[in-house]
């Protein structure tokens, strides 16, 4: 039995490789509408509105570029700290993917004693 050259099969295989190489080129591209914008995102937790990597990166950047650092959120507020009253700054912090706004406040400390000030994990409140 002899093998017969099948021209259409060669055309289909060649076309398939051309399409595959085109896809690889598109994924590697930084042009608008190419690259990361072609890679889908599955967000089962529902944290993002984005459906592709490019939009997800933009969304994460927008969420974090304006927020205050956690170290600044509960930092000592020298304007409200005096004597045995310790003041702290307010701001935003993230707890289990929920951004919570904490108001600035003060805590009364006990004189001549070791005082521990902590952040209440469930509420983001500050307590002694």
What token pair was written down for 62? 């927008």
Residue 48 lies in a domain: yes
pLDDT of residue 68: 59
Report which secondary-structure segment, H or E, holds 14: helix 7-28
Supply the range of the domain harboring residue 43.
7-64
Same domain flag for 80 and 113: yes
What residues form DSSP beta bridges with 105?
88
Same domain flag for 56 and 80: no
pLDDT of residue 39: 86
Residue 1 lies in a domain: no
pLDDT of residue 15: 83
Residue 121 lies in a domain: yes
pLDDT of residue 84: 94
pLDDT of residue 105: 92
Q: What is the pLDDT of residues 88-126, one digit of tens each?
A: 998 877 777 778 888 899 999 999 999 998 888 777 778
> What total of structural domains would you count in the chain?
2
3-state helix, strand, coil in the chain (%, to 5): 35, 20, 45
CA distance 36 to 27: 7
The pTM for the full model equals 0.46
Q: What is the pLDDT of residues 29-88, one digit of tens each?
A: 888 888 888 888 888 888 888 888 888 888 888 877 665 566 788 889 999 999 999 999
Closest listed residue to residue 128, CA positions, set 120, 117, 114, 112: 117
């Amino acid at each position: 039995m002899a093998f017969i050259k099948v021209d259409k099969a060669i055309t289909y295989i060649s076309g398939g490789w051309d399409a595959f190489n085109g896809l690889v080129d598109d994924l590697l591209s930084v042009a608008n509408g190419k690259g990361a914008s072609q890679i889908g995102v599955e967000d089962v937790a529902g944290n993002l509105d984005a459906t592709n990597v490019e939009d997800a990166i933009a969304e994460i950047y927008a969420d974090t570029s304006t927020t205050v650092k956690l170290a600044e959120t509960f930092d000592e507020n020298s304007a409200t700290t005096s004597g045995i009253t310790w003041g702290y700054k307010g701001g935003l912090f993230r707890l289990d993917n929920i951004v919570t706004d904490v108001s600035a406040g003060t805590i009364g400390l006990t004189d001549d004693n070791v005082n521990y000030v902590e952040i209440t994990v469930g509420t983001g409140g500050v307590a002694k």
